[in-house]
Structures are given as structure tokens and as C-alpha cells.
Amino acid sequence: MKKISLLIIIAIALASCGGNTDYTPKPRAYFRIYYPKKEYRTFDTIYPFTFIYPKYAYIEKDLHPQQNEKVLNMKYLLNMQFPQFKGTLHLSYESITSKKVFDELREDARTFAFKHTVKATSIEQGTINNPKAKVYGIYYTIDGNAASSVQFFITDSSKNYLRGALYFNTEPRLDSIQPVLNFVKKDVDTLIKSFRWK
């Protein structure tokens, strides 16, 4: 009886091992992303600057500024929303009233960018230099799983200053947001290249 039971167990085990033996685990899947056509329009209102931004984004006043950021001029806080990507480019404008204020604003921009060093793998700085339009500044590219991947400030070095920071309303995992980040970065670059003071 024991021999028959053992033979049945071996037969069942061999039968269950048959069939397709080349199993490969499926790679991790992500939602399919549909990218809109790159079309732009001009932002030219009561604000002391103008620029080009994408038609699939919209701009609104920021009525709830971040608690940890110094805000001197509440009137000029804007959010450029990218609703299909759950992204926001926060823009804040300040008037430069003295060299001391200008130095503080530049240091604030640097401080806010380098707050992400805990999660960032690297932070690269690039200069923004358009003497013809009097647009100068620094562009911070923050790599890794940081909350913000792009930050910048632009100024005319005498009267005007604008700071921008791009955030996505999702868990900061670079491998999942990288395609969208690359797409939106082109829009941020277009904004900076087209930026003009009034």
C-alpha cells in the first residue's frame, strides 16, 4: 500500500511539472502616458513680465503659499498647473529694492534647491544668460527621488526677480516620473528662453 501511495504521489508531481517550463516574470508596468501636442501661448497680463507657456497648462494665482518659504510680495505668486501630469510650476516674483534684498533672494533660491540633498543623487547648476533681454539666473537640475527636480531663478540684476520650482503631486520616484519630467522640462526651458521683463 505504501509503494502504491508513493507511486501516485510521484506521478502527480511529475504531471504537475509538465507543460510550459520557460516562465519569465513580467516587468513592472506603468500607466500609459499620452503626451499632448506642443503648442504654446503668451502669458501677458498685469504682471511685470511675459513669457510663453503650453496650451495644455493653465496659470492661476497661488492663494496658499508654502508656509516655510519667505514671501515678500503676495500679489505675484502664480502656479502653472499641468493637470494631466499632476504637476505644478510654482512661480514667485519679487521686486528688488536693495542689494541686500537681492543677495537674500539669491541665497533663498540656493537654499530651497539644496534642501533636496537628502533625497537627491546630484544637483547641477547651470547659468541663464540672455543679455539682450536682461534675463540672468541659475537653473538647478535635481536628480534622484527629490520632491522637486527643477528649480530656477531669473533676474535683471537691478529691479526684478522671479523664482520657479517644479513639483509633481505624486511619490517622488524618478524612474516613474522621468518621461513626464523630460516632457515638462522642455516647457520650463521654453518659458525661460521666451521670458521678458516689461
- On the CB side of 13, how many CA atoms lie within 13 Å of its CA? 6
The tens digit of pLDDT for each residue in 98-140 reads 999 999 999 999 998 888 777 778 889 999 999 999 999 999 9
Residue 190 placed within a domain: yes
CB 49 within 8 A of CB 196: yes
Distance CA 44, CA 53 (A): 11
Residue 58 placed within a domain: no
Residue 172 placed within a domain: yes
Share of the chain above pLDDT 70, in %: 83
Specify the pLDDT at position 19: 58
The tens digit of pLDDT for each residue in 57-105 reads 999 998 765 544 454 444 589 999 999 999 999 999 999 999 999 999 9
Higher pLDDT, 47 or 15: 47
> Considering its fold, how many domains does the chain have in total?
1
Range of the domain at 177: 64-198
Q: How many residues does the chain have?
A: 198
- On the CB side of 80, how many CA atoms lie within 13 Å of its CA? 22
Place of cell 495644455: 56
Distance CA 166, CA 16 (A): 54
Beta-ladder partners of 151: 140, 165
Output the nine-digit C-alpha cell for 135: 534675463
Higher pLDDT, 27 or 178: 178
Residue 150 placed within a domain: yes
Residue 122 placed within a domain: yes
Specify the pLDDT at position 30: 60
Mean pLDDT score across all residues of the chain: 85
Higher pLDDT, 17 or 121: 121
pTM: 0.78
User: For residue 178, what pLDDT band results from cuts at 50, 70 and 90?
Assistant: confident
Residue 183 placed within a domain: yes
Output the nine-digit C-alpha cell for 106: 539669491
Mean pLDDT of 130-157: 92
Residue 15 placed within a domain: no
Beta-carbon contacts of residue 60 (< 8 Å; ≥ 6 apart): 78, 79, 81
Higher pLDDT, 175 or 159: 159
Specify the pLDDT at position 65: 59
Residue 146 placed within a domain: yes
